[in-house]
Amino acid sequence: MKKKKTGAKRSDQTAGITRRHFLTTMGSGAAVMAATGGLAAEAAREPEVLKADTTAKITLSVNGRRHHLLVESRWSLLYVLREKLELTGTKVGCERGECGACTILIDNVPRYACLTLAVEAQGVKITTLEGLMTGEELGPVQQAFLEEDAFQCGYCTPGQIMAAEGLLRSRPEPSEEEIRRAMSGNLCRCGTYDHLFKAVKRAAALRKGKGGRV
């Protein structure tokens, strides 16, 4: 009687399963390695960083006018506005985003010019204090600040006006709480906050044409 070669058969089957498993695993592993390798390479690819003393040609849109400038990559928008474009209505304060004296509008949103690099400000609409005037005529917010005596030393006033302007462009009829929240990023060392809040309310009325110029 011939003995069944069960052991050999099991060995072959086991070997076959192992080979298939091996090949499948290797195929999956290769795919995973290819995918993760690509992700790793993507993660390792760092964004381009300009050196501090690198110069760049940029175009800024400020108060409806285009300006072509050669700037250093480290220059803040505050520096460029004041020293290169001579728009000194934007004031230098703390230069670290705490006082709000340098507030401007970027696409109608209040921003600190001291924390914005000039090279970052391309392709957006920049509005400074000077851009709120029509010739020598004050804008509604400026007029309201004058009428409500919303300043003492006046140093923070340009930034306060720009913060109020930004609020009224998004919320034409703001509530008391919205006014306080919107103006909270601008400090007044003289403490004229009550007059500031009244000025914002007055500016809202002027913008709607309820008494005074618009």
Residue in this structure with the two tokens 């993507």, named with its chain if needed: 42
- Can you give the pLDDT at residue 87? 98
Q: 108-145: b or e for each residue (b if 16 or more CB lie within 10 Å)?
A: eebbbbbebbbbebeeeebbbbbbbeeeeebbbbbbbb
- Can you give the pLDDT at residue 210? 54
Tell if the pTM clears 0.85, that is, is over it. Answer: no
**Tokens of residue 84, six digits:** 């290169």
**pLDDT 10s per residue in the chain (214 long)?**
555 555 444 444 444 555 555 445 555 555 544 445 554 555 556 656 666 678 999 999 999 999 999 999 999 999 999 999 999 999 999 999 999 999 999 999 999 999 999 999 999 999 999 999 999 999 999 999 999 999 999 999 999 999 999 999 999 999 999 999 999 999 999 999 999 999 999 999 999 885 444 3
